[in-house]
Every structure is written in C-alpha cells, then in structure tokens.
Amino acid sequence: MRILLVADIHGNRPALEAIREPYDVALFLGDAVEYGVEPAPCIDWVRKRCAYSVRGNHDHGTAHDVPRPPVTQHGFKYLTGPTRALTRERISEADRRTLAGWPLTQFLTLDGVRIMMVHATPRDPLDEYAPPDVNFWARRLEGIDVDVICVGHTHRPYALEVGKTLVINPGSVGLQREGDPRGSYAVLSGRDYELKRFEYPVAEAVAAVEAAPLADEVKHLLTGAYRDGQLPNGKASPGPSKP
C-alpha cells in the first residue's frame, strides 16, 4: 500500500495540483491555508482526496479567527495577519467548518502499520516546533505506542528512527523556507518511506499573488519565497515557532 503524506499546502494551488504520485491512501497533516491566496481549492483537494486529515495551526487560526500576530513581527509571522484576512474572505462557511472539523490527532492502522497523525507534536498538536532530533522525539513519544508518527509544521522534510517508531515529516507542499523552491511530500509503504521533491509552475503561484488584494510588501515576501524557496532580503529568520 502506497500512502501519500502531504502537509503545509498553505493555499498554493499550483503546487498542490502538480503532485503526480500514485497512491492508495492520502493523509493530510495540516495547514491547508494562509500565506498562499487560493485556499478554497486546496481545502477542496484535501476534502476529496485525503482519507484522514488533521488540523494545522493555520487551519485553526483561519477557522476560529484567532487573534493575529502583531504586524511588528517579521518574516512568515508577519505574513499570517494579512493573508488570514484574505483567506477568510476567499473560503465559504462550509470550508471554514471543514477546517474547524479536522481533529488535532488521528490514530489509524493501515496494512497492519499503526500510525499517529498530528500537525506539530503529541505534546502540543498545533504549535510546537519539532526539530529532526532523536532525543527530542524520544521524549515526545513516551507513552505513545505506534509504528509511525506522521507530522508536518516545520516545512522541513525529515525521517527519524526513534526506538521502534518512525517519525516522518513530508515537508511543505506549498511554502518553502530552506532555499529549495520545489515542493515536497512523502510516500510511506509499510515502514519504508521516500521523501520526494517536485517542480511546479511557480510563475502561476506568483501571478495569483500579484493579482490578489494584498500590500506590496506582502506580495514581495510571498513571491520571493515562491521563487527562491525562502523569504527575500534576509527576512527568512522568523524564529521556529510558527511555520
């Protein structure tokens, strides 16, 4: 069984639609929305294709209009405010209910493999930044008896063997922060995995941002991130807490 893992789409429809991977089951690990300007088709894609989904911090923020970070923030944190307003304008009430309805965690067994899904970590399902660190994950997995834990949030693909558990993070489909503009996802087959990068029509995502009613600074940051895989002008250091 090929299990497709997707996370952190962030409203980037051209990236999402460029995934050409055969799969039997798709799992979504949170953050369908915010930053990118085409949230509705991304929510719809997840609703139609992903058998199981969990809520990300940005899905939660949009669904409940959580107070936005102050505009004095830099980098990606700064972008959350203006793009949340646009996201809320561009989704329907049914879309909002879909975001709010995704659970924080899911436990499932596929092909005999026991899987936990969570956007960030079991301790803090929405917000905690989990580095690719065995000791960090060993503490987070205490008392959790699964074969594989699938996570997102960091926008950094990685896989770690932590005791008897595989920790896998497919990286981000739609918003890169480490200098590689390609999207990423993962495929899980039993306990085997592949972390994959894919090209997508970046110009289409840039054009959608340019056409959106956003401030010039917001457009500059977003389109720079799409083109270069990181925020322009050294602003790619928003701290690790809100990817």
Beta pairing partners, 186: 5, 195
Q: What angle do CA 134, 183, 216 make, to 5 degrees?
A: 115
CB 8 to Fe ion: min, Å: 4
CB 154 to Fe ion: min, Å: 8
Q: At what angle do helices 202-210 and 216-228 cross, to 10 degrees?
A: 180
Contact pick of 4, 9, 23, 31 for Fe ion (by CB under 5 A) = 31
> Is 59 a residue that touches Fe ion (CB under 5 A)?
no
Return the number of the residue (114 or 235) whose C-beta is nearest Fe ion: 235
Q: Which residue has the tokens 């699964």?
A: 146
Q: What angle do CA 117, 24, 152 make, to 5 degrees?
A: 25
Q: Residues near 30 by Cβ (< 8 Å), separated by ≥ 6?
A: 7, 8, 53, 54, 55, 56, 57, 58, 59, 102, 119, 120, 152, 153
CB 189 to Fe ion: min, Å: 25
Which of the ranges 7-15, 95-103, 136-144, 159-167 carries the binding residues for Fe ion, by CB under 5 A? 7-15
Which of the ranges 31-39, 100-108, 190-198, 222-230 carries the binding residues for Fe ion, by CB under 5 A? 31-39
Return the number of the residue (55 or 96) whose C-beta is nearest Fe ion: 55
Closest CA to 170 of 180, 183, 189, 179: 183
Return the number of the residue (110 or 183) whose C-beta is nearest Fe ion: 183
Q: Residues near 103 by Cβ (< 8 Å), separated by ≥ 6?
A: 54, 55
Q: How many residues bind Fe ion (CB under 5 A)?
A: 3
Contact pick of 8, 38, 59, 95 for Fe ion (by CB under 5 A) = 8
Q: What angle do CA 62, 21, 100 make, to 5 degrees?
A: 15
Which of the ranges 4-12, 74-82, 162-170, 177-185 carries the binding residues for Fe ion, by CB under 5 A? 4-12
Strands across the sheet containing 25-28: 50-53, 25-28, 3-6, 183-189, 192-198
Return the number of the residue (6 or 18) whose C-beta is nearest Fe ion: 6
Q: What are the start-end ranges of the E strands in 129-169? A: 148-150, 158-162, 165-169
Which of the ranges 6-14, 71-79, 98-106, 141-149 carries the binding residues for Fe ion, by CB under 5 A? 6-14
Return the number of the residue (181 or 243) whose C-beta is nearest Fe ion: 243
CB 119 to Fe ion: min, Å: 8
Which of the ranges 3-11, 65-73, 78-86, 218-226 carries the binding residues for Fe ion, by CB under 5 A? 3-11
Which positions lie near Fe ion, rule CB under 5 A? 8, 31, 243
